[in-house]
Amino acid sequence: MPSTEAHQISAASRLEHVRYAIRDLACVADEVVKQGHKVLPLNVGDPLNFDFQTPPHLIEAVYRAMRDGKNGYAPSPGVPEAIEAIRGEAGRKGITTVQDVFVTAGVSETVDLCLSTLVNPGEDVLTPCPDYPLYSAVLCKLGIRLNAYDLNEDDAWQPELADIERKLTPRTRGIVLINPNNPTGSLCTRHMLEQVAELARRHNLIVFSDEIYDKLILEDTPHIAFAAIAPDVPCVTFGGMSKNYLVPGWRIGWGIVSGEAAAVKAYTEGVHRLLRARLCANHPEQYAIRPALEGPQDHLIEVQRKLRSRRDLTQKWCEATPRVSCVAPRGAFYAYPKIDIPESDEIFVKELIRQKHVMVVHGSGFGQKPGTQHFRIVFLPDEQTLTKAYAGIAEFIRERYGE
Ligand SMILES: Cc1ncc(COP(=O)(O)O)c(C=O)c1O
């Protein structure tokens, strides 16, 4: 007999702290769209929402793979030609102690897999604050206490070493670096990477270096891979196709394990257990990895040209706007301005959507030092769209808070 009272199926309490502000704002935007307005989306880091196109030879490679029958399960670590190409890429990044390479469903799966393989209950992993929210979401899912270290806005958003030292516990197992950084657009200096390496050596940590934006550098200085300057330190370098090769919907990422063979052996075996348990990453899309990494890179010239121009426009606007200041982004396509306002940045962002139909993400969605307020801009839209959006934000600030 069906009971008259429905029993609620509750979600696990571990999930209470899982937040994904970037997508959570969608309900406010939906309200505005229902009222018949168009929202200017400066909130989601998907280049294909704007004037960027997937290089055609990559689409051709996937199409060919499908036609050639590569539609069954792939080997769990990835198809051999993709793994070979990623090893080649590791070499070009200067990583000399590669012990293993595996392909995943986006860097999102690399993050999940690498954290899940590492931590036992009661242990922790140092993550940056602000951070890309997937890291804290996965740790919450695993029931792990969050242990965030500050990025220092006064030092171009470099990791704050003194804070890392303060936050280290005997049960800290690893540290996450996001370089180039989301949400700040910062790049770690060589000196900083060397200091983090020293700290990892001293405290027996594995380093997870998320380098998904490593080809989207907006300066003339080249990107420096953590594993290249610390070949002896256990490290997994995260890379992928979503951003550099303009295919976020294909869900292709990878991990490059480096360090001394004996030190990373047991950990790598653990990773492979999980790789087998989830069968494989998307199969036909893996056949685009070699053409991407070894084929023409022409699209990157155009992408970087557009991003530099949009970064410059964004930076000029930040400098000219009262109550706003910003450390100039040097990589990726994010700016993370500070705002001086008498209310929370979450209210700021929600009201901005309602009143000016411009969507950015509040700093509190990424974590920030208490007492500070920020918002993250995705500067992927063209100059005309950005100019219109920035005029709306400036007007909103003036009307709501005065000069
Ligand atoms: C720093 C960072 N890491 C990982 C990801 C996830 O990327 P993927 O599309 O490869 O899952 C993103 C996506 O925005 C990101 O910004």
Phi and psi, residue 87, nearest 5°? -60, -40
Q: How far is the CA of 240 from the centre of ligand 1 (A)?
A: 8
Angle between helices 345-356 and 26-34 (to 10 degrees): 20
Q: What pLDDT score was predicted for residue 271?
A: 98
Residue nearest to atom 14 of ligand 1 (CA): 45
What are 332's two structure tokens? 């990726």
User: What is the reported pTM?
Assistant: 0.96
Q: How far is the CA of 35 from the centre of ligand 1 (A)?
A: 32
- Residue 242 near ligand 1, beta carbon < 6 Å: yes
The residues, ordered by sequence, that sit 6+ positions from 157 with a Cβ below 8 Å of its Cβ are 151, 181, 184, 186, 327, 336
Q: Which atom of ligand 1 is nearest the CA belonging to 332?
A: 16
Q: What pLDDT score was predicted for residue 141?
A: 94
The residues, ordered by sequence, that sit 6+ positions from 23 with a Cβ below 8 Å of its Cβ are 44
Q: Parallel, antiparallel, or unpaired for β 206-210 and 147-152?
A: unpaired
- Residue 281 near ligand 1, beta carbon < 6 Å: no
> How far apart are the two ends of the chain, measured CA to CA in Å?
66
60: left (phi over 0), alpha (psi -120 to 50) or beta: alpha
Q: Which residues of the chain have pLDDT under 50?
A: none
- Give the separation between CA 48 and CA 53, rounded to whole angstroms: 6
Please name the helix (run of DSSP H) or strand (run of DSSP E) that holds residue 49, with its range, or none.
none
Q: What pLDDT score was predicted for residue 22?
A: 66
Q: Which atom of ligand 1 is nearest the CA belonging to 178?
A: 1
- Give the separation between CA 189 and CA 229, rounded to whole angstroms: 11
Report whether 244 contacts 215 (CB < 8 A). Answer: yes
- Residue 108 near ligand 1, beta carbon < 6 Å: yes
- Give the separation between CA 362 and CA 20, rounded to whole angstroms: 11
Distance (Å) of CA 159 to CA 66, 153, 162, 176, 200: 44, 9, 9, 10, 14
Q: What pLDDT score was predicted for residue 3?
A: 60
**Which of 118, 73, 77 is closest to 276 using CA atoms?**
77
Residue 109 CA, distance from chain mean position:
12
Please name the helix (run of DSSP H) or strand (run of DSSP E) that holds residue 389, with its range, or none.
helix 383-401
- Residue 329 near ligand 1, beta carbon < 6 Å: no
- Give the separation between CA 82 and CA 80, rounded to whole angstroms: 5
- Residue 210 near ligand 1, beta carbon < 6 Å: yes
Angle between helices 134-141 and 106-118 (to 10 degrees): 40
Q: What pLDDT score was predicted for residue 5?
A: 76
CA 118, 19, 105, 307 dihedral sign is negative
What is the per-residue pLDDT across 130-172, written as a single tens digit (0 to 9) for each? 999 999 999 999 999 999 999 999 999 999 999 999 999 999 9
Q: What pLDDT score was predicted for residue 14?
A: 84
What is the per-residue pLDDT across 70-81, written as a single tens digit (0 to 9) for each? 999 999 999 999
- Residue 174 near ligand 1, beta carbon < 6 Å: no
- Out of 22, 107, 243, mutate this one to test ligand 1's pocket (max ligand atoms within 8 Å of CB): namely 107
Residue nearest to atom 13 of ligand 1 (CA): 45
Bridge partners of 236, per DSSP, are 208, 257
**Which of 13, 3, 25 is closest to 364 using CA atoms?**
25
Phi and psi, residue 359, nearest 5°? -115, 115
Q: How far is the CA of 28 from the centre of ligand 1 (A)?
A: 24
